[in-house]
Amino acid sequence: MGVRLLYDTNIFLYYYAGNLNAKKYFDTGFLGENRIIISRIVRLELLSFSKLSLREENIIREMLDQFVMIPLNDRIEDIAIYLRRKYSLKIPDAIIAATAYDTSSALLTADIDDFKRVTEIKIINPFR
């Protein structure tokens, strides 16, 4: 049985850039063995790049459809507020960390410096 992972936005960016460390987390065998979720904020971040072509947007939308999307709710918002105040996180990072906490998921992120202070969640660095 696998683990529950929440993918940070940067994991998708590294994947689209062809990074081999990130690509292994999108392998069908890996995805099939683990429960992978994403925060609604990841979708927002990925699809809001100003220079995104229609083709790239469609590729991202198709990719995101493979994952369980966790909606933003009052509980996650309250946790995000707490984490933002405690650790001075940017709002998107606070929402992602709150989603990981609320769903008891480990956060897969390359953004170790921003998240390592958040003791309430488990962090997995894909580049170790």
Which pLDDT belongs to residue 1?
Answer: 53
Mean pLDDT across 89-94: 96
Average pLDDT for residues 16-24, to the nearest whole number? Answer: 91
Among 4-8, 105-109, 112-116, which is the least confidently predicted range?
Answer: 112-116
Q: Which of 29-38, 50-59, 88-97, 106-115 has the lowest mean pLDDT?
A: 29-38
Name the CATH superfamily, with its identifier, for domain 4-124: 5'-nuclease (3.40.50.1010)
73 burial (CB, 10 Å; 0-12 / 13-18 / 19+) is exposed
- Structure confidence at residue 125 (pLDDT): 93
What is the C-alpha to C-alpha distance for residues 51 and 77, in angstroms, rounded to an integer?
A: 29
Residue-wise pLDDT tens digits, 51-72: 999 999 999 999 999 899 999 9
The reported pLDDT for the residue numbered 71 is 95
Q: What is the mean pLDDT of residues 3-22?
A: 93
Q: Is the pLDDT of residue 108 over 90?
A: yes
- Its pTM stands at 0.92
Domain residue ranges in the chain: 4-124
The total of other beta-carbon atoms located within 10 Å of residue 81's CB is: 14
